[in-house]
Amino acid sequence: MKKLPIGLLTVMLCGLLAGCSGNGGPQQNAETKAPEAMTEAKQQAEANPTTEAAAAEAAKGQETAKPETVKLRVAYHPNFGGNNLYITAEKNGFFEEEGLIVEPVKFTAGPQEIAAMVAGDVDIGYIGHGATFLAVQRQVNVFLTEFLGNGDELLTYKESGITSLEDLKGKTIATAPGTSGETVLKLALEKAGLSRDDVRIVNMDAAGMVAAIVAKKVDACTLWPPQTSEVRKTMGEENVVRLTTIGDFRDQFAFPGHWVVTPKYMDAHPDVMVRFSRAMLKAMDYRKEHPEETAENVAEFIDAPLDGVVAEMNDIDLFDADYCYQVMTDKTAAKWYDALQNLYVQDGKVEKTVPVEEWFCPQFAKEAYESLHK
């Protein structure tokens, strides 16, 4: 990912922090208390030299004390974007370093995942941009942005006779409501000067769309990895036509992948939010230095062909920790999300926009990053 110029005014973050912190902004944890404990130990040692060694040992113990172990249920998606940070953090012990025991829970779409989070069945999860309208509705908060996506596609096949977006008029198109695929369809129709009334839209989940397009029961569909690779493998690369991708609209919108949490969990567990964010930032930098290993771990985890995983990885603009910190603290990401929520209003997913700082919460990533760069 091409980096933006450094030299950021971090005071710009204050407005974001105020609205998103609620009653649960980052609180002082064991690590931030360690310097105080060391100072007290030093004062006691100076007052009583005979206890200097014991005091020093006690201070050292507090400094290196492991955080309290916390179990987390974390939602992932079975594609590269949806789990690569999780599996990287897990494989390299970054969660363990933070005292986190993570139970991965599989989902194939954001809306169902967020419903589980609201019900209390999942604590933290990954979603793509398609379900981010649920954050605007205040069901979840975005707290960590990790990449910009290009992988969602509007696909057809040669026998359909469709060679351009304009050819979609009167055709049957499958899409999954509330997903990034539906966003691709909306933008594609607008680009072609068509409305939803000009086509026949059928709602399906990802598996249903794969079956429908392969059987040629629909004329086109909107899919994302790994299902896009599955369609090409089944139908043959030469028989699949890509009409457009989400990346074709980057001049209008950025489409981030990110991690979300319910306001209730966030407010109740600010320390866990920082620890989880720190593990993920470590994973971002490891991923940058070890892309092949990352792809292999993802392929093994989701039991998918390595070449398909690599193709998806190369189709995503991945962040390292520095760039993540930069865009989350200089309002770049906030502008992405503000543009997205305006898109959701146009599409009828939300009635009106709300201040981004109410649901975009960068304070945990900020604290985590700065704790790693003291």
pLDDT at residue number 51: 46
**SS3 state of residue 20:** helix
Residue range 194-200: mean pLDDT, rounded:
97
pLDDT at residue number 1: 44
Give all strands of the β-sheet with 316-318 in edge-to-edge order: 100-106, 70-76, 124-127, 256-261, 141-149, 316-318
Percent of the chain with pLDDT over 70: 83
**pLDDT-wise least confident of 83-92, 118-127, 211-220, 251-260:** 251-260
How does pLDDT run across 20-48, given as a tens digit for each residue? 754 433 333 433 333 343 344 444 444 45
Q: Quick one: which of 167, 150, 158, 151 has its CA closest to 241?
A: 158
Residue range 179-189: mean pLDDT, rounded:
90
Residue range 175-199: mean pLDDT, rounded:
92
pTM of this structure: 0.74
How does pLDDT run across 266-301, given as a tens digit for each residue? 999 999 999 999 999 999 999 999 999 999 999 999
pLDDT at residue number 57: 52
Containing 310, the helix (H) or strand (E) segment is helix 306-314
Shared fold status for 10-38+66-149+253-372 and 153-249: yes
Q: What burial class does residue 309 get, using C-beta atoms within 10 Å of its C-beta: 0-12 exposed, 13-18 middle, 19+ buried? A: buried
- Position of tokens 């992932």? 76
Q: Quick one: which of 115, 12, 104 has its CA closest to 330?
A: 12
CATH architecture of 153-249: 3-Layer(aba) Sandwich (3.40)
Domain 10-38+66-149+253-372 in CATH: superfamily?
A: Periplasmic binding protein-like II (3.40.190.10)
pLDDT at residue number 226: 79
The residue extents of the domains of the chain are 10-38+66-149+253-372, 153-249
Band of residue 357 on the pLDDT scale cut at 50, 70, 90: very high
